[in-house]
Amino acid sequence: MKYLITSALPYANGKLHIGHVAGAYLPADIFVRFLKLNQADVVYICGTDEHGTPISIQADAEGVEPQVIVERYHKLIEDAFKGIDIDFDNFSGTSRPPHYTMSQEFFTALYENKHIHPKDTLQFYCEYDKRFLADRYVEGICPKCGAERARGDQCDACGQIYDTTTLKEPKCKICGNAPVIKATRHWFLHLDGFTDKMKAWIAQKDYWKENVRNFMLNLLEQGLIERSITRDIKWGIPVPLPEAQDKVLYVWFDAPIGYISSTVEWAQRIGQPDRWKDYWHDPETQLIHFIGKDNIIFHALIWPAMLMGQKQTYCLPHDIPANEFMNLEGQKISTSRNWAIWVDEFVQEFDGDYLRWYLATNAPESKDSDFSWKDFQQKVNGELNNVLGNLANRVFAFSQRFFAGKIKAGGNQRGGQSGAGRCLQAGQRD
């Protein structure tokens, strides 16, 4: 069995906080360690998500080019992962040239297979800033749940995605003025064409987590519609059509392709450039996406449709274990309000294993969980250091006393593996 394990690609516009780690990274890293201990054939893939309005808004705010923001945060995020021993087989970034080629090929195949069509649409336009207000450039009230500060493309509160002009009481994020509505042509992915395939596929997924499966069943019941996959902004991958000169691909179109281009990069790095195909083009590969709950629709609907609509066969997600959120001292973690524990700051004070222990035993698996410093102190002192630490200490002291410091190596005991049955000196690692 081959496994491709991915963790959501963090946007390269901010630092990593404990909520990210608890949702999409630590659970995947633990699963990958388990698979590797069992000698499974597994590649663990990630990278930074470097396009879209999250990056360009940050660049505008600082008056620098988006690439400057991308490079800064890619490094900070990569170092934060190292600080807590999250160990990817490859950590790439979506502004690298091979990712551009792969994303444009994906678009072209879907276009030639008649899954993508142009349409004249109405979009918010700021007359003051003289620009269309894609996605996060506009904020307003969610048309579905009524939450405030919903973005142009998705509401953080209810997870709904929608076409921009349905947002209520819109305001330009740059100048705060109310935008006008103006016509512009965009290209749409026709998800309705995948309805039957999608229903048949979901029908086999009775082992999925309830939150993910129900989300999908609900969408299928509402009926699949077309989704705009191009944008009027400068930062992004150019749409590979001569008639779409000034448009780029929507960030959520190119981002999941990053899982593939990161695997391509991994294959090149290990000196076997075609190796990625053994995974991605084998329908039997267990492709598992670890994500946070706000990313469900993209991974369980839009991305599988993009894969189904290619000319070559790709494996489809086998599972999408989406976690709920982790709060901090009873309040929602918020980057804009600076209510978060940043991983780089955490590891300056504590051992990364303390965070791994606390988040693993307090994971937001089926409901939101809470990080409290008092609880953290009690769990680390009580469970990790006292109980587990004491157990390890006793085992080593015992083996020192009675077995001359030699204990059997751990690892897979099923037949003839290298570690089985050998002896290690106490404290020596296999």
CB of 48 vs ligand B3M, minimal distance in Å: 8
Q: How many residues sit close enough to Zn ion to count as binding (CB under 5 A)? A: 6
Q: Rule CB under 5 A: is residue 174 a binding residue for Zn ion?
A: yes
Considering the complex, state which of residue 10 and residue 152 has its C-beta at the smaller distance from ligand B3M: 10
Task: Judge contact between 201 and 211, C-beta under 8 A.
Answer: no
Whether residue 182 contacts residue 136, with contact meaning beta carbons closer than 8 Å, is answered with: no
Stretch that binds Zn ion, among 18-26, 125-133, 249-257, 270-278 (CB under 5 A): 125-133
Contact yes or no for 278/1 (Cβ under 8 A): no
Using CB under 5 A, which of the segments 37-45, 91-99, 123-131, 283-291 binds Zn ion?
123-131
- Identify whether the C-beta of residue 236 lies closer than 8 Å to the C-beta of residue 248: yes
61 near Zn ion, judged by CB under 5 A: no
**Which residue lies nearer to Zn ion by CB, 176 or 410?**
176
Residue 172 interacts, among Zn ion, ligand B3M, none and using kind-specific CB cut-offs from 5 to 8 Å, with Zn ion
Any contact of residue 229 with Zn ion (CB under 5 A)?
A: no
Least separation in angstroms between residue 362's CB and ligand B3M is 21
Q: CB-hemisphere CA count at 13 Å for 88?
A: 26
User: How many residues are listed for the chain in this entry?
Assistant: 430
> Residue 398 touches which of ligand B3M, Zn ion, none (CB < 5 to 8 A by kind)?
none
Q: Which does 132 bind (CB under 5 to 8 A by kind): ligand B3M, Zn ion, none?
A: none
Residue for token pair 């502004």 = 95
The torsion angles phi and psi of 89, rounded to 5 degrees, stand at -75, -30
Burial bucket for residue 274 (CB in 10 Å: 0-12, 13-18, 19+): exposed
- Residue number with CB closer to ligand B3M (232 or 254): 254
Report the alpha-carbon distance of residue 359 to residue 327 in Å, rounded: 11
Backbone angles phi, psi at 331, to 5 degrees: -120, 150
- In terms of Cα–Cα distance, which of 307, 251, 259, 316 is closest to 282? 316
Residue with the closest Cβ to ligand B3M?
49
Report in angstroms how near the CB of residue 94 gets to ligand B3M at its nearest: 9
CB atoms within 10 A of CB 373: 10
Q: Which of residues 144-173 bind Zn ion (CB under 5 A)?
A: 172
| CA-CA-CA-CA dihedral for 98, 104, 105, 107, to nearest 10 | 150
Binding partner selected for residue 174 from Zn ion, ligand B3M, none, CB under the kind-specific 5 to 8 Å limit: Zn ion
Q: Which does 9 bind (CB under 5 to 8 A by kind): Zn ion, ligand B3M, none?
A: ligand B3M
Using the rule CB under 5 A, is 126 a contact of Zn ion? yes
49 binds, among ligand B3M, Zn ion, none (CB under 5 to 8 A by kind): ligand B3M
**Residue 11 CB, nearest approach to ligand B3M (Å):** 4
CB of residue 215 to ligand B3M, shortest distance in Å? 16
Nearer to ligand B3M, 202 or 296 (CB): 296
Residue 391 interacting entry, from Zn ion, ligand B3M, none, C-beta within 5 to 8 Å by type: none
Name which of ligand B3M, Zn ion, none residue 27 binds, using a CB cut-off of 5 to 8 Å depending on partner kind. none
Q: What is the DSSP letter of 414?
A: S
Binding of Zn ion by 181 (CB under 5 A): no
Which positions touch ligand B3M (CB under 6 A)? 8-11, 49, 255-256, 258, 295
Instruction: For residues 380 and 118, give the distance between their C-alpha atoms in angstroms, rounded to a whole number.
Output: 56
H-only helix segments in 113-256:
195-203, 210-222, 251-254
Which tokens is 71 given? 């490079």
**Minimal CA–CA distance to 193: which of 219, 227, 225?**
225
Residue 295 binds which entry of ligand B3M, Zn ion, none, CB below 5-8 Å type-dependent: ligand B3M
**Least distance CB 8 / ligand B3M (angstroms):** 4
SS3 content of the chain, % helix, strand, coil (to 5): 45, 20, 35
Residue ranges that bind Zn ion, judged by CB under 5 A:
126, 128-129, 172, 174-175
